[in-house]
Structure 1
């Protein structure tokens, strides 16, 4: 797990994992809430509306805004496969078990410390040569010891070229080879996990599809930013309009589809429309089984002038 470098794991308790919503150390998975949030001084304004006709709902929830929400059935975590203290996964497992939730674990094949990252080509060659087999084997062994049902999502949004992820610069053929190797390594150590292939939803994503035998679930990312919609689509998009392009490309694979990252930001009318409709069942999307909210501020800038949208479902009350 160290890639021939010495790492110092920082041991912290659940009550000190996060400071202002930011992970304290790269050694800790992102997404374990610190403690119950009282929402004192906050107002809920973007919580998805879950009704009888809803798909399964879940959240990436580092602030604990959904800690007591019985509607949330999926707990989403992010972790790198380098410089990570996997013992903290047991805390996430206990948290999920207490609330009857499944775990969705996004494994990012890098270090969260920029200084320790390999280049795109170094990472690819390292994976294909087997140099990183141990990294994934360690993660999957730790996941196999958890009591909660686990879905592993590896190297997401490979079809996005905004330079956020080093693996998004690989050719489709190279990505497919890397994904297949990593899933097969993981299966040697984890016999029960499901595996999610998770493109962003861009045109041409199907070229990155790694094969039915290594994909159990397909994930997509769907974000609604009101100003971006107006500037780039000639008007505001609904959730269904934002989902449709990616969904139409992946429905041919006959796999369950999950919105693995969902967020929306805009004025009250725009937010209400998304909140009311994002978790509905749609006859035009029969394979859509779940939506998972990304309950935090964006971590990578959108193109100028959009900055870092704040997807969090609660906002601070200002006096």
Structure 2
């Protein structure tokens, strides 16, 4: 072999090694379908972003639990590529989740979407095990109380058992475990949840993340989870990494960020791009994926938000998915419309159809042709 060929072989080998590392899950015992999904998400993220919507099949603006219905589908004649769900209240073995979705229906929706080739992500607004309040009850030292040796550790293990039972029940038509992008303890740099930055320490957060993931993997034998680490925005690399539990416990680096006022358009775009500028090289270094796990502009008051705000914010970055929050419709408690994706009569629906035509954005129909679980 000539010197020139030797160098070429070396660089090809290194490139191949990088590719293999980039597709390696933190759980070595992951199922075949889970490994395939992770590998394919890596490959797709080089040129495509999956579009996701929370609770898409369960309800929308002015409707609930109508088989096959979706606000996204009524605008584009296609479903989202990724579906978000939340299992809050599963810890109490409740019949319905925090937003009233029956877990029986959620299971059905997840299976239907999986069989069509879509991706599932699950968050968990878990109640406060120390105070008995909601996830927004910021009683201090709750995290410490559920660590091994803590007063509520055994209770938290029971809650993990209930969550694991539900996730074990998510099966495909051949009895295989449906892969799940699991996003617990989300928005950890915010101060509104009991696991938030003002209510625990980085050391305790790392410890409870590692305990929870280890318990779900090794005690409950859940080998279909792709673990999503999630902050509220990304102010700096140091802040993002302060509570990071380790590469062996994380597969996707993600953040949440919303726009709240029209005048914030430029600020929102700048903040999203800053986050992606920080996370892209970090993910490349760690061989992880990047995701924009939650976003939106409530009631979408900007008729061109999709093509003139969201797309400019994410354009040019290797992003695995972007998910907008749920379409609850009119909220009697908040006395306003509460939705984040367009519906057929929404003023942004025309712009969303233009967004749908973007060759870099994937919805379910095109994603289904990619055979991402093989």
* TM superposition score category, shorter chain reference: 0.5 to 0.7
- For the pair 1:289 / 2:320, whether they are aligned, the reply is yes
Which of 63, 71, 74 pairs up with 1:65?
71
Q: Displacement, 1:297? A: 6.0
User: In structure 2, what is the Cα distance between the partners aligned to 1:242 and 1:292?
Assistant: 17
Q: Secondary structure at the match of 1:198?
A: strand
Point out the structure with the larger strand share.
1
Q: How many residues of Structure 1 are paired with residues of Structure 2 in the alignment?
A: 248
- For the pair 1:267 / 2:302, whether they are aligned, the reply is yes
CA separation of 1:228/1:125 partners in 2, compared to 1, >3 Å: closer, same or farther?
farther
The aligned counterpart of 2:247 is 212
- For the pair 1:105 / 2:122, whether they are aligned, the reply is yes
TM-score by length of 1: 0.66
Q: Displacement, 1:92? A: 2.8
Q: Displacement, 1:102? A: 1.8
- Alpha-carbon contact 1:78-1:105 (below 8 Å) kept: yes
User: In structure 2, what is the Cα distance between the partners aligned to 1:308 and 1:207?
Assistant: 36
User: In structure 1, what is the Cα distance between the partners aligned to 2:273 and 2:328?
Assistant: 24
Q: Displacement, 1:160? A: 0.9
Q: Secondary structure at the match of 1:158?
A: coil
Q: Secondary structure at the match of 1:245?
A: helix
- Alpha-carbon contact 2:107-2:170 (below 8 Å) kept: yes
The Cα RMSD (Å) is 3.4
The aligned counterpart of 1:27 is none
Q: Displacement, 1:149? A: 2.1
Gaps of 5+ in 2: 1-46, 61-69, 96-102, 172-177, 331-335, 348-374
User: In structure 2, what is the Cα distance between the partners aligned to 1:291 and 1:106?
Assistant: 14
- For the pair 1:149 / 2:179, whether they are aligned, the reply is yes
CA separation of 1:206/1:134 partners in 2, compared to 1, >3 Å: closer, same or farther?
same
- Alpha-carbon contact 2:328-2:339 (below 8 Å) kept: yes
Cα shift readout 1:198-254 (whole Å, capped 9, x = no counterpart): 11124312201111000011221132334451xxxxx62464x23123234434243
Which of 213, 233, 237 pairs up with 1:183?
213
TM-score by length of 2: 0.57
Q: Displacement, 1:312? A: 3.5
User: In structure 2, what is the Cα distance between the partners aligned to 1:111 and 1:316?
Assistant: 39
Q: Displacement, 1:279? A: 6.1
Using CA pairs below 8 Å that are at least 6 residues apart, which structure has the higher relative contact order?
2
User: In structure 2, what is the Cα distance between the partners aligned to 1:193 and 1:263?
Assistant: 26
- Alpha-carbon contact 1:107-1:153 (below 8 Å) kept: yes
Point out the structure with the larger helix share.
2
- Alpha-carbon contact 1:70-1:99 (below 8 Å) kept: no
User: In structure 1, what is the Cα distance between the partners aligned to 2:166 and 2:329?
Assistant: 28
The aligned counterpart of 1:200 is 232
Q: Displacement, 1:316? A: 5.6
User: In structure 2, what is the Cα distance between the partners aligned to 1:115 and 1:125?
Assistant: 15
Gaps of 5+ in 1: 1-52, 230-234, 300-306
Cα shift readout 1:107-139 (whole Å, capped 9, x = no counterpart): 222169x96447533631332033201211321
- Alpha-carbon contact 2:143-2:194 (below 8 Å) kept: no
